[in-house]
Amino acid sequence: MKFAIQFPNLKLFLTYLFSSVLFIYSKGQLKEDSLFSQSLDNVVVTATRTPRLMGNVAIPVSVINTKTLYQAGSLRLNDILAEQTGINIVDNFGKGVQVQGLSSEYTLILVDGEPLIGRTGGVLDLSRISVRNIRKIEIVKGPSSSLYGSEAMGGVINIITDGSGVNKSDFGLRYGSFNTIDGSFNFSRRVKKTDVTASVNYNRSAGYSLKPNQQQKTVEPFWKTVQQLSLNHQLSENWKLGSGFRRNVTYIDNTIEVSNQGIAVLSKGFERNDEYNITPYLQYKGNKVRTTLRGYITGFESEQLLSVKGSSNTYNDRFDQLFSRVENQTDWQIREQSAFTFGAGHIEESVASNRYDSLATKRKNSISYFFAQHEERLTRKLTAIGGFRFDANEAYASVWSPKMALQFKPDEKISINISYGRGFKAPDFRQLYLNFTNLAAGAYSVFGSEVAAAELQRLSALQQIDQVTGVMGGLTALRPEISGGLNLGARLKLKDGMQIGANLFRNDITNMIVTDIVAFKKNGGQIYSYFNLKSALTQGVELDLDKRISKTFTLKAGYQYLYTADKDVLAQIRKGEIFQRELTSGSSVRMKASDYAGLPLRSKHSANLKLSYETAKGFFATTRLFYRGRWGTFDQDGNGIINRSDEFAKGFLHVNASAGLSFRKHWKLMAGLDNLLNYKDILNLPGTPGRVGYIDIQFNF
């Protein structure tokens, strides 16, 4: 379905860019504004797409700095995010992230402000991302589509790498359980007006098995490598030119037990993922105006090959995705109390997969967009931010995404923030074009909404359809999922070095895309497709505390209460239309609202606690705890929802500890133990191996 509003795409963008340049020169070159010269360590960028002091941002945002990353001993992004308030890591097509109860497909992951691609089932596997060479991580919670478009409906996680250009080099080596080795080398130099930054990271593991005496491991042996290069050149006092390059390769040895004519045999093969990013830019920075023209090209290629021992059958799964974007953003500091940001861009993306018809068929899409945001300090105590974004997408109707935020600071000790935003999530290639049949698991098929009708007609002509279901008539073009998100937060600074924060949130989602059975095959296999059917909500509260106990001890703690629901199911329960089967007697009884556990894979309670000890002589020690309450997994009594105690995974407590020492100016030594309590759950947490120990040494040149 073509979008309703005609958008001249790249032509409009180039016109806008030319106008922006004229606007810049009309303003002239004045003395550099202090806002643009703030250090990245003191400001956040992701929340407003402009540098802002963290205490002056009216949108829920948190920062994980370099010291926190190092002292936690984290290797991958999922390791450090699991310890943050209001974030849960879910084992589902890799390590996915939940923010405010919204699943991974609604959270945009950025590296230096540019989006990562290569999702499986809507999940971007966080274990792909090494935290070596990361300066900090900024986390924005709540709808951010007004600035970042689709996939930012639930929030944004921006990984900012170290591109400072300061003359330094360091080498790190880590060895841990399961023969895990991680090595990294970082290099940066400033040569006259040119900054050069390069880094290499290599990580490998022998894998592990949570089931003894089984040839198929829970996590197979793998190796991963990441290379990054950044070049930045100061052309003049006001102009800067640069580019970055990043490549990430993962290779996994696969050994899978399959059934061949009732006999268990081994299927051997591999999985390889290859990702690259190229990020050129040209920037002008004056007193009142800064404008940046960015280019971005990223590709993701994945191949999985399996061959069954003693059989000619071979499984070969290929997935190739390409994403390119050109964008200009202009920031205008109108006066000290007023700032305006506006921009526009154009995106071209394509995907080819043998799950989407064939590798020879490329599915393409293009998006043109523009956005604007105005920040005004109305009084000394009250600041307002308003903005919107318009996305014109060839695959579905155009979307407007507005956002409004207010911050009230009666004094330096108290700040109150409220924000409301409208987010959207575009149907992805999988939901539109997937054409997949799994012969090894019941011969079920999944068809995207754009190909489902034709495939059903083809199978019907071959007389392979047994019956169709009632939802068959609902097969129509998918609409984007829309959300409205409200956040109300407050932060209080006390005299004794304590800070207390609270944030209430609610997200309402409409046009939620779900899968359902549209037909049954004569061989018993089901046929699934995608529909806009449901509306859902997530709401709750986050609390955090930061306390400096003494010069050497610091305490941090956080807690989230989360309530989720399918609104349609909740309405049916209140009308007495849904029944459940009692666990003990097996009798069927009418459900009450209190029996309903909400959306699956969500925990009602989660918490974290961190105690840090640090001396001026370079020694540190941390103990970190994070708790996740029970969460719903799958329906057992046939009513399609989570309501009985046997439909939950157990809650767990993880305890991580690390200690380190800096010595002889150039050396750092650290050791740690993760999951001290050795918690394991092979069914629901296959990516958690139990207790893991490691030792890490770094040398700074």
Does pLDDT of 31 surpass 70?
no
pLDDT of residue 37: 37
Question: Averaged over 107-122, what is the pLDDT?
Answer: 90
Task: Quickly state the pLDDT bin for 486 (edges 50, 70, 90).
Answer: very high
Task: Quickly state the pLDDT bin for 562 (edges 50, 70, 90).
Answer: very high
Higher-pLDDT residue of 437 and 251 is: 251
Does pLDDT of 357 surpass 80?
no
Span of 55-69, 175-189, 322-336, 361-375 with lowest mean pLDDT: 55-69
Phi, psi of 149 (to 5 degrees): 75, -150
Question: Averaged over 157-175, what is the pLDDT?
Answer: 86
Task: Quickly state the pLDDT bin for 275 (edges 50, 70, 90).
Answer: very high
Dist CA 545 CA 608 (whole Å):
10
Span of 3-12, 126-135, 641-650 with lowest mean pLDDT: 3-12
Query: Where are the chain's structural domains?
Result: 10-548, 549-562+597-701
pLDDT of residue 243: 95
Dist CA 217 CA 268 (whole Å):
12
Residues above pLDDT 90, as percent of the chain:
56
Q: How many CB atoms lie within 10 A of CB 311?
A: 12
Residues above pLDDT 70, as percent of the chain:
91
Residues 583-634: pLDDT tens digits? Answer: 888 888 999 999 999 998 999 999 999 999 999 888 999 999 999 999 998 8
Q: How many CB atoms lie within 10 A of CB 160?
A: 20
Span of 151-160, 380-389, 631-640 with lowest mean pLDDT: 631-640
Does pLDDT of 91 surpass 70?
yes
Nearest 5°: the CA angle 152, 158, 164 is: 155
C-alpha 497 chain-centroid distance: 33
Does pLDDT of 419 surpass 50?
yes
Extended strands (E) in 522-651: 526-548, 553-566, 579-581, 588-590, 605-614, 619-628, 631-632, 648-649
pLDDT of residue 315: 72
Q: Which of 188-197, 353-362, 538-547 has the highest mean pLDDT?
A: 538-547
pLDDT of residue 17: 46
DSSP assignment string, 618-634: SEEEEEEEEEE--EE--
pLDDT of residue 8: 40
Q: 10-548: which CATH topology?
A: Maltoporin; Chain A (2.40.170)
Span of 111-115, 155-159, 313-317 with lowest mean pLDDT: 313-317
Q: Check if the beta carbon of residue 625 is closer than 8 Å to that of residue 608.
A: yes
Task: Quickly state the pLDDT bin for 421 (edges 50, 70, 90).
Answer: very high
Higher-pLDDT residue of 440 and 101 is: 101
Task: Quickly state the pLDDT bin for 39 (edges 50, 70, 90).
Answer: very low
pLDDT of residue 38: 42
Strands 180-191 and 134-141: unpaired
What is the overall mean pLDDT for the chain?
87
